[in-house]
Structures are given as C-alpha cells and as structure tokens.
Amino acid sequence: MSFFDTSVSEVVSQVQAGTITALELVEKSLAVIAEKNPEINAFITVSAAEARARAKEIDALSSEEKSKMVLCGIPVAVKDNISTKGIMTTSGSKILDGYIPPYDAHVVEKILAAGAVIVGKTNLDEFAMGSSNENSAYGIVRNPRNLNAVPGGSSGGSAAAVAADMVPLALGSDTGGSIRQPASHCGIVGVKPTYGLVSRYGLIAYASSLDQIGPMGHRVDDCALLLSVIAGEDRRDSTNSGKNYEIGSFGSLKGKKIGLPAEYFGEGLTDEVRAIIDESKAKLVAAGAELVTVHLPNVSHAIASYYVIATAEASSNLSRFDGVKFGYRAQGTTSLIDMYKKTRAEGFGEEVKKRIMLGTYVLSSGYYDAYYLKAAQVRTLITRDFENAFKECDLILSPVTPAPAFMIGEKTSDPIQMYLTDIYTVSANLAGIPGVSIPAGEVNGLPVGAQLMAPKWAEKGMIDAASVLA
Ligand code: GLN
C-alpha cells in the first residue's frame, strides 16, 4: 500500500498537466486523516482550511508556473518541532501549547516554494526526546501496522502518517535516530542527511550539534526528491554547508564495497533482524557489490557519549522556555522566579525534566571534565572510526534497531532499555554522516529496516544503493 501507485514525481506531472488537481490530492489526504487519525494520533494539528486554500492557489497558477514546482500539489506532513508561520507548533510539549510561529522554517519555505501543500503537523516525543512516541504531551502515537505497538520515535507521527497513507511524504528530524528508527518500525524509507546539508533554521533545537531534518516516504526516489528540495544554502544556519543534493539516475553498485561493522552484528542483535539483514546483504551482492568486514572499535561507547552530549545541549537549548517568550505560562505566581519555576514545572514532561537535569549536571563545574569533555573526546574517536572504516568501503550496511517495534508500555519503566534501542543509529549523528533506513523485511507482521551509512556528502551513492534494497 502507498498513497500513490506511482512515484510522487509522476503525480506532480499529472498536476502540472491538469489531469488531476492539487485540491483532489488534499481532499484524499484529509479524508484518510479523518478516518484514521482518531485511532493512530499521528497529527497534533490538521491544517485543513489552510491546506484547501493553498491547493486552490496552486490549481489557479499558470501551467508555466506549475512546471517549475517539483512538488506541485503534493500533500506533505511536517513534524511539529519545525516552525510553520501561522500554524501552531508545539514540539510535543505543553510548554509550547498555543504557540504560533511568526515565521517558516527554511525547509518549510523550500517545500512551499516547490508547490507542496502542508496538511498538518505531526506528533512527536516531547522536544524530540524519545524512541517510541510515548513522551508526547499530545498522547501516544500507534503503529499503523499493529495498533498495540509503538511507531518508534521521535518522528513517530511523521512515520505513522506516511505508513497509514495519510500523506505520501513527511518531514522528520533526526538527532540520534529519530527519522531512521520510526521509518524502520513503520515500514517506510527515512533519510538522515549529512550534518550541514539541510538548514536547521526554524527547527526547535534539541541538540544542535546532532540535529538534522530529513525526508520520510514510501519510496526511495520520493525521499530523494524531497531531499533535493530541502537541501542547500541558508545563511541563517551557521552550520549549513551551502551544498546541494541533486537527484540523478541511480548508479551501479558494481565494484562497490559494502562494509559490515563487526561490532554491529554481535551480542544484542536479535536472530530475526540478523536474518533480514542477511537478505539485504544478498541483494547488494546480486547487484554487484562486494561485502567486507570493517571495525568501529569505539562504538560500544556511542550511547553513553550521545546521551551526555545530547542532554548537555538540550539543557542549554531549553532554557529559553520560561513563560516569557513562547507558549504556556503558569498562573497565580508570586514573583518572576516563581513564574519561571512553576511554568517549567508544569510545562515540561518527565523525560524532558530528566534530561535537563542530566545535562545541567554533566556541564556543571567539577563534572564537566569527567563527563562532557570525555563524551566529546569519545565522539572524536567514533568519528575517526568511521573515517578509517570508509578507507576500506564505500558504504556501511547495518541494522537500524536490534528488534522490531516493541509494544506500547513495554519499555517505559526501563529507560536504559529504551536508550539501548538507539545503539545502531546514534553513531551517524555523532560522526555527522548520512544514514538511510529502507524497509527490508517483517517479523510477525512488524516491519524491519536495513540501514546504509555513507561518508559525509555521499548521499548520492547511499541513495543509489538504497534503491537496490527497496
Ligand atoms: N531516541 C533518541 C533520543 O531520545 C533520539 C531522538 C532523536 O533522534 N530526536 O534522544
């Protein structure tokens, strides 16, 4: 199943030719959302009126204007930590309830200019902190493939919206796996670009040195199309590289070396997922690639390093939510300090509070050297591990998660078990390299993805190989 029977670009050609209208596509999307969202809860906000008005605007354009729009009339869902002018943006938090951004994120400007229609804002773990979408102030999201299972997180709403055919494409953000892991759990494609390829302007920051926005969709070519729209220069994000991503014809894998990190296929990986990754290996070999074993000796420390760095950055980034500038403010307070305290106590959820405390602790004088500095050093070692591995291979193949989606409530009482589900994804963020999750198989009806990772800026080769696995 998929929203369209064909690729998004074929449907775009039909909208451009006038054989189908943008309004028809939006009505189809809104109808599926009305039918399925009450159960799945993929959307926090459905912007039906704005979407219809925008679709009519697109339909009224001249064919010459439409011909320049590569997403002409396509309904897209946007994760609710990405700012949309005039549409509530909560980041899954009560502290931003009612916050209406006065500006669009860079990626939103880009997709609108390309003719996309935003149908709504998708649910997420509060401030993108989580792996299951059970941490949202707007309720849990259910996995469309099994309503008792989690969709993954934190972009669980975007993944579920695509998997349930509410939209053909969605935007997510990935700080430690939040595009790839829910894509894997919901059976769709998700791309985390190289750090610096896509501007973070207008993305509500979780951990700024790790965050990247990326595309989620049913097909590899659809995600490549959306990536080509959102990548590119933006001076408003100082870490933006100015590089573009251009889609071309998919190249051959003949003579390409695919690295299999020994450390990713050891203890902790379930037999079911291992068997599915074996099938992916076979597909790559059949396409002409050669498999080689590589080593990432420091990745066993990736989770520890990630959760120190991410919480440290989050504790700083979230200090701006104080009841003064955005969203929620506690009532009945007696002084400024009291207002700050009560607003943050009432506005933030448990997981966010835990991470702010952890992050403040690892940055505090006396502990900085022992925790934050060590984690930053480990990050450098992991980055070098990947640089060395890529001297011996063009791409790396690995699992996305050790097991398929778990059941709702199964891991909420055991945060360490929850954090360990990120074991194969966080390293790409620490190293700043791109990664993609491609549907690779199923276990008891639950989808399982395979992950490809590439050197920085090598999205093209990574997406070529992903199209072989799809
Ligand atoms: N699960 C990871 C975390 O909780 C990753 C989240 C993300 O990529 N936004 O931090």
- CATH number reported for the structural domain that contains residue 151 in this entry: 3.90.1300.10
Instruction: Specify the pLDDT at position 250.
Output: 62
pLDDT, average across residues 159-169: 98
Does the pLDDT at position 298 exceed 70?
A: yes
Say if residues 189 and 162 touch (Cβ distance below 8 Å).
no
Q: Which atom of ligand 1 is nearest to the CA of 418?
A: 1
Say if residues 226 and 188 touch (Cβ distance below 8 Å).
no
Residue found under tokens 């916050």: 99
pLDDT, average across residues 435-446: 97
Out of 124, 132, 133, 175, mutate this one to test ligand 1's pocket (max ligand atoms within 8 Å of CB): namely 175
Q: Which atom of ligand 1 is nearest to the CA of 179?
A: 8
Residue 458 resides in a domain: no
Instruction: Specify the pLDDT at position 94.
Output: 97
pLDDT, average across residues 271-280: 97
pLDDT, average across residues 291-297: 98
Out of 93, 154, 350, mutate this one to test ligand 1's pocket (max ligand atoms within 8 Å of CB): namely 154
What are 442's strand-pairing partners?
447
Q: Decide: 213 in ligand 1 pocket, CB within 6 A.
A: no
Residue 296 resides in a domain: no
Q: Decide: 175 in ligand 1 pocket, CB within 6 A.
A: yes
Out of 131, 212, 305, 351, mutate this one to test ligand 1's pocket (max ligand atoms within 8 Å of CB): namely 131
What is the domain range of residue 149? 8-230
Residue 269 resides in a domain: no
Residue 428 resides in a domain: no
- pLDDT bucket at 415, cuts 50 / 70 / 90: confident
- Note the pLDDT tens digit of each residue in 184-235: 999 999 999 999 999 999 999 999 999 999 999 999 999 999 999 999 999 9
Q: Which atom of ligand 1 is nearest to the CA of 429?
A: 8
pLDDT, average across residues 163-179: 98
Going from the C-alpha of 218 to that of each of 22, 30, 438, the distances in angstroms are 20, 18, 9
Q: Decide: 423 in ligand 1 pocket, CB within 6 A.
A: no
Cα 235 to Cα 241: distance, rounded to the nearest angstrom: 9
- pLDDT bucket at 171, cuts 50 / 70 / 90: very high
Q: Decide: 91 in ligand 1 pocket, CB within 6 A.
A: no
- pLDDT bucket at 260, cuts 50 / 70 / 90: very high
- Residue 285 Cα, ligand 1 centroid: separation in angstroms? 32
Residue nearest to atom 5 of ligand 1 (CA): 176
pLDDT, average across residues 165-176: 98
- Note the pLDDT tens digit of each residue in 30-85: 999 999 999 999 999 999 999 999 999 999 999 999 999 999 999 999 999 999 99
Kindly state the tokens that stand for 218: 């049913």
Instruction: Specify the pLDDT at position 420.
Output: 85
Kindly state the tokens that stand for 232: 């590119």
The predicted model scores a pTM of 0.97
Q: How many domains does the chain have?
A: 1
Instruction: Specify the pLDDT at position 123.
Output: 98
User: Which residues have a catalytic role annotated?
Assistant: 79, 154, 178
- pLDDT bucket at 246, cuts 50 / 70 / 90: confident
- Note the pLDDT tens digit of each residue in 100-109: 999 999 999 9
Instruction: Specify the pLDDT at position 276.
Output: 98
Q: Decide: 163 in ligand 1 pocket, CB within 6 A.
A: no
Cα 225 to Cα 220: distance, rounded to the nearest angstrom: 9
Instruction: Specify the pLDDT at position 414.
Output: 87
Instruction: Specify the pLDDT at position 418.
Output: 86
- pLDDT bucket at 1, cuts 50 / 70 / 90: low
Instruction: Specify the pLDDT at position 249.
Output: 66
Residue 294 resides in a domain: no
Residue 374 resides in a domain: no
Instruction: Specify the pLDDT at position 402.
Output: 95
Does the pLDDT at position 251 exceed 80?
A: no
Residue 240 resides in a domain: no
Cα 261 to Cα 389: distance, rounded to the nearest angstrom: 8
Does the pLDDT at position 99 exceed 60?
A: yes
Residue 62 resides in a domain: yes
pLDDT, average across residues 1-11: 89
Determine the Cα angle at 243 with ends 393 and 465, to 5°: 35
